[in-house]
Amino acid sequence: MLQFGAAVSTAPDHQQALDEVIPAAMAALAGTPDLAVCFFSMEHAAAAPGIALSLSERLGTSAIVGCTAEGVIGEGRELEGGPGFALWLAGLPGVDVRPFALEVVAVPDGYGIAGWPDIAPGERATVVLLADPFSFPADRFLERLNEEQSGLPVVGGMASGGSGPGEHRLLSGTDVVERGAVGVALVGAVEVRTVVSQGCRPIGSPYAVTRGEGNVVHELGGQPAIERLRQVVTTLSQRDQDLIRGGLQVGQVIDEHKAEFGRGDFLIRGLVGADEETGAIAVGDRVELGQTLQFHVRDAAAAGEELELLLDPVTGWDPKGVLLFSCNGRGRRFFGEPDHDAQRVAVATRRVPMAGFFAQGELGPVGKRNFVHGYTASMAVFCEPREP
């Protein structure tokens, strides 16, 4: 049977924080954990080597991954300011736990990624990945992984809290690195379901790209893309028009085989430019000819509504533990209230052990392909396995 434990601390001293979280998280487990995941604020960054060593010695495991964070999440709380330390432990009988560390290495035609674990085709597996946003090309890495290991879900986040290269800390066992990425592949008898809430609401109608190249869309549904946008704007309420001025989003349909598209069917990217002369718009990602696009708006109400919608079936999954990766653009500054995402996830999962952090980019699958997201809440929900 799967077992999980979690605890958080606001102690300013890392040893005091460890003294608080380790016994509290261990109390829920019958024995030595098979995996430890931790997130700690920048106040503890300098103590990262001591944190890793203490966790290994006191927990009796070398399967440890973690990273620095602008704010940590746990026990239904979001600790957005000041010191914070979150620890999440898992007892995973029958699961092959494969920790790893990735580094970018130079190769004759550019660069490569070294350190990826062996995951055989057909193995039931999920990857939790934590990466440094200044040194690890997460977008390109996931793009390649989607092609080479199609259907392998990756969930996690980009370390946060630092303002430049070399400031973040990533934990892999007792090792501490400042660059690259760390993670763990979980292979075998655990079902990890993912929820990715991108926090947007569609407006207008979906249109196919009828002319475009790269990230530039010249025509939607046979008309200039800007003209389609004008048509959408004229049908909106004043409130939605105000939201557009604050930043319009574009949803790219992931699975074109569906008869209708709704929330969860789109990969959300920003509208990064428009050209009145040519009638073209530029999207924050590549688009394909024939791909369906729909304009979206983002606000706190839409984000909360979508999260509630996507969390609705979670209780029926009988969750046992959860990891939550929420954008550092969400939280109190976006929703105007404390603990927004954490509380709703806690209620939906019946307050099972949870930990997470505010990330500088969230990782999670949409339509069975993995992406780096923004303004998103991405989570891994751990459940007892169903039959393969």
SS3 letters across 214-267: CCEEEEECCEEHHHHHHHHHHCCCHHHHHHHHCCCEEEEECCCCCCCCCCCCEE
First CA to last CA across the chain, in angstroms?
17
Is the alpha carbon torsion for 275, 280, 286, 292 positive or negative? positive
Cα–Cα dist 350/64, whole Å: 26
Per-residue model confidence as pLDDT tens digits over 330-360: 999 999 999 999 999 999 999 999 999 999 9
φ, ψ for residue 215, nearest 5 deg? -105, 10
pLDDT of residue 258: 83
- Region 100-104 average pLDDT: 97
> What is the per-residue pLDDT across 166-191, written as a single tens digit (0 to 9) for each?
999 999 999 999 999 999 999 999 99
- Residue 387 banded pLDDT, cuts 50, 70, 90: low
Q: Residue 40 burial by CB count (10 A; 0-12/13-18/19+): exposed, middle or buried?
A: buried
CA 28 remoteness from chain centre: 26
Neighbours of 215 (CB within 10 A): 15
Confidence band (pLDDT; 50, 70, 90) for 221?
A: very high
CA dihedral angle for residue 141, residue 362, residue 270, residue 328, rounded to 10 degrees: -140
Lowest pLDDT segment from 144-153, 258-267, 335-344: 258-267
Residue 264 has pLDDT above 90, yes or no: no
- Boundaries of every domain in the chain: 3-197+303-383, 201-297
Say whether pTM exceeds 0.85: yes
Which pLDDT band, with edges at 50, 70 and 90, does 388 fall under?
low
Question: Which range among 101-110, 212-221, 375-384 shows the weakest confidence by mean pLDDT?
Answer: 101-110
Beta bridge partners of 295: 250
Residues 6+ apart with CB under 8 A from 61: 32, 33, 34, 35, 36
Q: Is the pLDDT of residue 262 over 80?
A: no
Which region among 89-93, 156-160, 239-243 has the lowest average model confidence (pLDDT)? 239-243
- pLDDT bin (cut points 50, 70, 90) of residue 382 is very high
Helix, strand, or coil (residue 327): strand
Residues 382 and 322 sit within 8 Å (Cβ to Cβ): yes
Look-up of token digits 């193995």: 123
